[in-house]
Amino acid sequence: MNLLTSKQVLEITGIGCRSTLWRAVKASTFPSPLILGPRSIRWRSDEVDTWINERPRRTYKASAQMSMEA
């Protein structure tokens, strides 16, 4: 297990900004960080990885092959 900074979490997850990250934490839709000291927080990499793996995947339907009759 590694500990990640907020900057690393943003890079790994693709979340756009820290305010969005904190909104997700407060809404309990993203893992809460560990408090290491008065000005030091980190996220557990395994919890972030689990969150990423639980995200729904976008699927694309195969397009129907159009028959060309001329």
- 39 falls within a domain: yes
pLDDT in tens, 3-41: 999 999 999 999 999 999 999 999 999 999 999 999 999
- 7 falls within a domain: yes
For residue 20, give its domain range: 3-53
- 65 falls within a domain: no
**pTM confidence score:** 0.79
Considering its fold, how many domains does the chain have in total?
A: 1
**DSSP letter for each residue of the chain:** --EE-HHHHHHHH----HHHHHHHHHTTSSPPPEEEETTEEEEEHHHHHHHHHHSPPP--PPPPPPP---
- 48 falls within a domain: yes
- 69 falls within a domain: no
In this structure, are residues 6 and 48 in contact, taking their beta carbons and an 8 Å threshold? Answer: no
- 67 falls within a domain: no
Residue position matching structure tokens 């028959």:
67
